[in-house]
């Protein structure tokens, strides 16, 4: 047989997985709505420059991972590689910058042309939220509280470690980068080959290198905290102090950096401690200045996003099983009555009904069994004469006749 694959790095989501996806999204949305965040759904297609302007040309996403194309009208479009820049674009586009409530949440597919592996797909799915306003550490703390709630509700918080760092403002960061580069050049021979290449182009990225040689240098590496101006430092101290007083467990990781250019000040990640690859499950940070850089007001912003597939990798197996009830009649002459009965059933969210047809009695029973039915409603000639229907419980094997007009009541009693 010829293989017919989905596009590399994309997956059909069905069966149990789609229920798990829905569960994660539902959990996320409930928490967001409870906190008066507003849902927004932006197009998967965006103008290419939205991301080029914001993510930074040196980032891998822009330089080699973006699905971009020129459409029939000559527009340069992309499949969005991430959510934040698109939300900012929508904020400006739809004149929401003056709105009193500028808290948004979203979920949907993102696209990056990477080589697929565990926890990494070309089409993956994120849930995320953004807060726009002033630079107020309450917002930083607030969205971390939401993340804590979200992850706890999914029962995975205890498997994750929260790491926090500050990237400072751009001036502080520039001062730091100069010192960092100086240090790295002095230790050039001790660096991995990959890291050597990054000294000029993207020195911050060396900080999250997994290479042992690189890591050996880390203890003597200059740290950004020592290069912050007083505003940036106070902001970070107040944020972490507040988290501590809220009993939120976190570690300060002075080498935590963000892959995208627009981040500054607070950066954080929830890391799956048992894995060293693709271990960032939820990550976010502050991006003051991003709105302005896309032509909007000088609004500050902060947000996070979580990868649904990565959440599912560490989530415990969940039981989504629903009680299925099979329905069939013993003979074709009763089909009208069967369908009428079927049509009159009251919607019950705990039950799904499955009409069964084809073959003799035995065959229908067998089908019901293969469908994993909890039980069967069977319309039989003899019983129909008494306005009754057979209920057969597959768990116990027992059966009884119940009046047609009390099926709904009867089924309610089962649960």
Partner RNA sequence: GUGGCUGUAGCUCAGUUGGUUAGAGCGCUGGUUUGUGGUACCGGAGGCCGGGGGUUCAAAUCCCCUCAGCCACCCCA
Binding residues for RNA (CB under 7 A)? 1, 3, 5-6, 8-9, 59-61, 65, 82, 112, 114-121, 124, 126, 194, 198, 205, 208-211, 258-260, 269, 275-283, 305-307, 309-310, 330, 359-363, 365-366, 368-370, 378, 380-383, 390, 392, 394-395, 397, 399
Taking alpha carbons only, the member of 239, 162, 175 closest to residue 204 is 175
CB of 124 to RNA, least distance (A): 3
The residues with which 300 forms a beta bridge, in sequence order, are 133
CB of 95 to RNA, least distance (A): 27
C-beta closer to RNA: residue 157 or 233: 157
**Cβ-contact 209, 215 below 8 angstroms:** yes
CB of 272 to RNA, least distance (A): 9
C-beta closer to RNA: residue 97 or 399: 399
- CA–CA dist 116, 123 (Å, integer): 10
Which long-range CB contacts under 8 A does 180-183 form with residues at least 24 apart?
Answer: 180/204, 180/206, 180/221, 180/222, 183/220, 183/221, 183/222
- CA–CA dist 82, 88 (Å, integer): 12
- What are the CA-CA distances from residue 224 to residues 168, 172, 255, 380 (Å)? 8, 8, 8, 78
CB of 80 to RNA, least distance (A): 12
- What are the CA-CA distances from residue 146 to residues 12, 24, 113, 248, 264 (Å)? 30, 14, 30, 12, 20
C-beta closer to RNA: residue 16 or 210: 210
**Cβ-contact 305, 100 below 8 angstroms:** no
C-beta closer to RNA: residue 218 or 346: 218
CB of 48 to RNA, least distance (A): 18
CB of 229 to RNA, least distance (A): 25
C-beta closer to RNA: residue 34 or 361: 361
C-beta closer to RNA: residue 59 or 172: 59
């Amino acid at each position: 047989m010829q293989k017919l694959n989905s596009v590399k790095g994309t997956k059909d989501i069905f069966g149990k997985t789609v229920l798990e996806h829905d569960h994660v999204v539902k959990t996320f949305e409930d928490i967001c709505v409870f906190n008066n965040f507003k849902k927004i759904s932006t197009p998967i297609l965006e103008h290419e420059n939205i991301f080029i302007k914001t993510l930074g040309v040196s980032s891998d996403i822009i330089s080699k991972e973006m699905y971009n194309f020129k459409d029939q009208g000559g527009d340069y479009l992309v499949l969005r590689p991430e959510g934040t820049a698109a939300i900012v674009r929508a904020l400006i586009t739809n004149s929401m910058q003056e709105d009193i409530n500028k808290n948004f949440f979203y979920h949907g597919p993102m696209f990056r042309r990477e080589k697929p592996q565990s926890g990494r797909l070309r089409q993956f799915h994120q849930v995320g939220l953004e807060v726009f306003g002033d630079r107020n550490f309450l917002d930083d703390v607030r969205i971390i509280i939401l993340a804590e709630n979200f992850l706890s509700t999914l029962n995975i918080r205890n498997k994750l470690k929260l790491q926090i760092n500050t990237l400072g403002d751009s001036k502080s960061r520039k001062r730091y980068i100069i010192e960092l580069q100086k240090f790295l050049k002095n230790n050039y021979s001790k660096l991995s080959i990959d890291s050597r290449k990054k000294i000029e182009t993207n020195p911050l990225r060396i900080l999250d290198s997994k290479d042992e040689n690189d890591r050996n240098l880390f203890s003597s590496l200059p740290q950004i905290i020592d290069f912050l101006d007083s505003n940036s430092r106070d902001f970070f101290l107040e944020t972490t102090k507040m988290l501590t007083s809220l009993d939120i467990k976190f570690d300060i990781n002075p080498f935590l950096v963000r892959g995208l250019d627009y981040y500054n000040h607070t950066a954080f990640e929830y890391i799956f401690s048992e894995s060293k690859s693709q271990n960032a499950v939820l990550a976010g940070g502050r991006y003051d200045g991003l709105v302005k850089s896309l032509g909007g007001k000088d609004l500050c912003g902060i947000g996070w996003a979580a990868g649904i597939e990565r959440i599912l990798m560490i989530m415990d197996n969940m039981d989504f099983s629903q009680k299925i009830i099979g329905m069939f009649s013993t003979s074709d002459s009763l089909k009208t009555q069967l369908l009428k009965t079927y049509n009159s059933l009251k919607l019950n969210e705990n039950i799904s009904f499955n009409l069964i047809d084809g073959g003799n009695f035995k065959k229908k029973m067998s089908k019901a069994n293969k469908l994993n039915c909890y039980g069967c409603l069977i319309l039989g000639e003899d019983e129909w004469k008494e306005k009754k229907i057979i209920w057969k419980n597959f768990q116990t094997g027992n059966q009884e006749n119940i009046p047609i007009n009390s099926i709904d009541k009867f089924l309610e009693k089962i649960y």
